[in-house]
Amino acid sequence: MKASSYYSVRTGGRQDKRGEVKMEISILLFWQILSMFLMLLMGFALVKTGLLKAQDSRILSVLLLYLALPCAILDSFQVEYDSRILRGLMLAFAAAVICHVILLLAAGLLGKALHLTAVEKASVIYSNSSNLIIPIITAVLGPEWVVYSTAYVSVQLLLLWTHGKVLLSGIKGADIRKILTNINLLAVFAGILLFLTGFRLPDVLSDTLHSVGSMVAPASMFIAGMLIAGMRPKQIFGNRRAYGIVCLRMLVFSAVSLLLLRLLKTAAAGVFSDAQTILLITLLAAITPPASAVIQMSQVYGQDSEYAGVLNVLSTLVCIITMPVTVLLYLM
């Protein structure tokens, strides 16, 4: 049974039951991340056994970005219209905006003090929310909660192609065309329209979206494993500064997100019935490893893409511990 089956039910003030639920969610999250780590090892093995090359991960990246993710996003909006869900989405969007504003300010202040490079700043600000968060929420809370994750993904996509592009390219000005034609953002807009109008896709199309969308977790982990296999161990584990940046991303910035969302949870508890769960989803999106898009954008704009990959890999290894612990602290 999903943790959400207990989590969203009133427990009549029974502290022992709530304590069990909190621990169950953290354990489920740990097992889900561990499962995804095993998928990463499979991708690693495909390259090390010579069946594929590390460069072949680009094909999977295209499938993930342009096919699986949009399908997963559209599928998440195939729910009956409910004003409660709409209110929850508004809360999720507000929380996502506040989170990003705080993270941008924190990165700006720490960037000067720690002399962070463009790649390092982008890696600590932007999380791998789209690739990791959808399969994690599906497994831990249930598919009915995935719709709320699209708020964080949308806000991040907008910032990534404005602030992120300026940061990594050094060229000022938003790329409006890329923002408006981003297939994942279009999927969000289409999904919201379907939700608001109450239009349900035919079963055969809905089933297809669900099946293709379920590829997100395996594909994203296969890609990460294949990239690791293409690097030398010294390249991954020999950079001392990388450990500091990973700690900044996975510990310091996760702690900032945790404190912020605990405050928002307290403020919203009396207004939104599902505030704790919705803000938990925002927290999960905020504390994932650096966005894989940072690696791709670093390649395009002449930044150190290998270093961006190292930060992503190390953070992915660390998140097996940091994410369940952060969630447990949030639920306390």
What does the mean pLDDT of the chain come to? 86
Q: Check whether 19 has a pLDDT greater than 70.
A: no
Q: Higher-confidence residue: 49 or 9?
A: 49
Q: What is the mean pLDDT of residues 9-26?
A: 55
Q: What is the pLDDT of residue 8?
A: 45
CATH code: domain of residue 196: 1.20.1530.20
Q: What is the pLDDT of residue 325?
A: 92
Per-residue b/e over 41-62, b at no fewer than 16 CB within 10 Å? eebbebbbeeebebebbeebbe
Instruction: With beta carbons less than 8 A apart as the criterion, state whether 257 and 322 touch.
Output: no
Instruction: Evaluate whether residue 166 is within a structural domain.
Output: yes
Q: What is the pLDDT of residue 276?
A: 92
Q: How far is CA 135 from CA 32, 163, 194, 233, in A?
A: 9, 27, 22, 28
Instruction: Evaluate whether residue 134 is within a structural domain.
Output: yes
- The count of structural domains within the chain is 1
Q: What is the pLDDT of residue 175?
A: 65
Q: Higher-confidence residue: 258 or 331?
A: 258
Q: What is the pLDDT of residue 223?
A: 84
| Cα 106 from Cα 278, distance rounded (Å) | 24
Q: Check whether 12 has a pLDDT greater than 70.
A: no
> 53-62, 67-76, 121-130, 166-175: which range is least confident on average?
166-175
**pLDDT (tens digit, 9 = 90+) per residue, 49-105?**
999 998 888 888 888 888 988 898 898 888 888 888 999 999 999 999 999 999 999
Instruction: Evaluate whether residue 169 is within a structural domain.
Output: yes
Q: Check whether 116 has a pLDDT greater than 80.
A: yes
Q: Check whether 20 has a pLDDT greater than 70.
A: no
Q: Check whether 33 has a pLDDT greater than 60.
A: yes
- Side-chain-side CA neighbours of 190 within 13 Å: the count stands at 17
Instruction: Evaluate whether residue 8 is within a structural domain.
Output: no
Q: What is the pLDDT of residue 311?
A: 92
Instruction: Evaluate whether residue 9 is within a structural domain.
Output: no
**pLDDT (tens digit, 9 = 90+) per residue, 290-316?**
988 888 788 778 888 889 888 988 998
Q: What is the pLDDT of residue 94?
A: 95
Q: DSSP H helical segments within the chain, as ranges?
A: 3-7, 15-48, 57-63, 69-76, 83-114, 118-125, 129-140, 149-159, 165-169, 176-180, 183-197, 203-213, 216-229, 233-237, 240-247, 253-268, 275-286, 292-300, 305-331
Instruction: Evaluate whether residue 191 is within a structural domain.
Output: yes
Q: Is 79 helix (H, G, I), strand (E, B) or coil?
A: coil
Q: What is the pLDDT of residue 123?
A: 94
**pLDDT (tens digit, 9 = 90+) per residue, 259-300?**
999 999 999 988 888 999 999 999 999 999 998 888 878 877
Instruction: With beta carbons less than 8 A apart as the criterion, state whether 304 and 119 touch.
Output: yes
Q: What is the pLDDT of residue 230?
A: 86
- Taken as a whole, the chain contains a residue count of 332
Domain enclosing residue 127, as ranges: 15-331
- Which amino acid is located at 74 in the chain? L
**290: which 2 tokens?**
């650096």
Q: What is the pLDDT of residue 17?
A: 52
Instruction: Evaluate whether residue 4 is within a structural domain.
Output: no
CB atoms < 10 A from the CB of 239, how many? Answer: 17
Of 227, 214, 222, 308, whose CA–CA distance to 36 is shortest?
A: 222
- Which amino acid is located at 332 in the chain? M
Q: Higher-confidence residue: 172 or 89?
A: 89
When mean pLDDT is compared over 18-32, 85-99, 158-172, the highest value belongs to: 85-99
Quick one: pLDDT band at residue 29, thresholds 50, 70, 90?
confident
Q: Check whether 132 has a pLDDT greater than 60.
A: yes
Instruction: Evaluate whether residue 6 is within a structural domain.
Output: no
